[in-house]
Structure 1
Amino acid sequence: MTENMVLVNTGLLIIRLVIGLTFFGHGAQKLFGWFGGTGIEGMGNWLKTLGLEQGAKVWAILAGLFELIGGLLFAAGVLTWLGAIMIVIVMIDAIYAVHGKNGYWLTNGGFEYNLVLIAVCIGTALIGPGDYVLLYKP
């Protein structure tokens, strides 16, 4: 393996670990109340404040599962494309439900950061996870 490929694979690993483990943590906050999270009840109550009265608890569980599972897949480099899709779905939902009405810039509560995460996930999925993955990649 050339030095350039070692750097590419290391870069992809860093991206996957930071993004994937962060989303795993967000999912664990929603589902289990870990890492200072509110758990399903708290997330469901917050979703109700956004106007989602019906099925708030179900949506809280789905968002948590998409973040937890998507984050793990993305971080591990296993079915990276599926993990990326799960993360992108949650980010599109966040833009639609929360950030979109605030415009683009994060300083105004906008969707700037969500769009950056979407781009990183899609870009990584298109490139591939690299050689440093949890399972052997032939």
Structure 2
Amino acid sequence: MSSGDDFSQQPTSLLSDVEDDGPDDTPRQGGLGLGLLILRLALGVTMGAHGLQHLFGLFGGPGIGGFARMLETFGYHKQTTLLSWITGIAEVGGGVLVIVGLFTPLAAAALLGVAANAVYAKFHGGFFEGQGQGFEFELLLGASALSLLFTGSGPISLERNTPWRKRPLPLGLVTLLLAAAAAVVVIVLTR
């Protein structure tokens, strides 16, 4: 070693020369797109399948007439056939749009409105299914839809260059109000 070697410039650890992408508090979002796709697929397939049960009796479902009678057992006594159609269309249409990631805030709001009404209808039955007509499943579906209101569809979707993809929070708040208003209107007009 010569006296001209400067050890103060040498790395002190194995990671010293690894470049940092930003401050330590910057979130890493490498899996965000995939995570949102998984959430969208689970929510869209589940709600869409329920809609097909309600509309067409597929997968052992009741169809429109059976679903209208089922709604009566949950306390909906007015316009149950119309409500059956609206619910089924919201589930199928919202489910498809959520799956492909198109108009996600509006589709998620429709699914949230359906889930909110289901939670309201089953609330007296307790939280768990095993204790009666629990609402935990519908609550989870509603929370999934609520999450998508504020995150948007993510990068793996059909939405490109839309205002709600770039800034999902403002439209998320508006669509949350729409979902809440729709749920209240359904409860007031059909119960």
TM-score in same-fold range (> 0.5): yes
Q: Show structure 2 runs of 5+ residues with no match.
A: 1-27, 162-191
| TM-superposition CA deviations, 1:34-69 (whole Å, max 9, x none) | 222121111112223334333111111111111111
Query: Which residue does the alignment assign to 1:137?
Result: 160
Query: Which residue does the alignment assign to 2:130?
Result: 107
Look up the SS of the partner of 1:131 in the other structure: coil
Within 5 A, what are the aligned runs for 1:1-138? 5-97=29-121, 99-108=122-131, 109-133=133-157, 135=158, 137-138=160-161
Q: Which has the larger radius of gyration?
A: 2
* Deviation >6 Å, runs of 4+: none
| TM-superposition CA deviations, 1:81-123 (whole Å, max 9, x none) | 11111111111111122x1002223432322222222222111
The number of residue pairs the alignment matches comes to 133
Q: Which has the higher helix share?
A: 1
8 Å Cα contact 2:103-2:159 kept in structure 1: no
8 Å Cα contact 2:102-2:159 kept in structure 1: no
Letter of the 1:104 counterpart: F
User: 1:6 Cα shift?
Assistant: 4.6
**TM-score if structure 2 supplies the norm length?**
0.64
Identical residues among aligned pairs (%) = 35
CA–CA separation in structure 1 for the residues paired with 2:71 and 2:150? 32
**TM-score if structure 1 supplies the norm length?**
0.86
Which structure is richer in relative contact order (CA contacts within 8 A, separation 6 or more)? 1
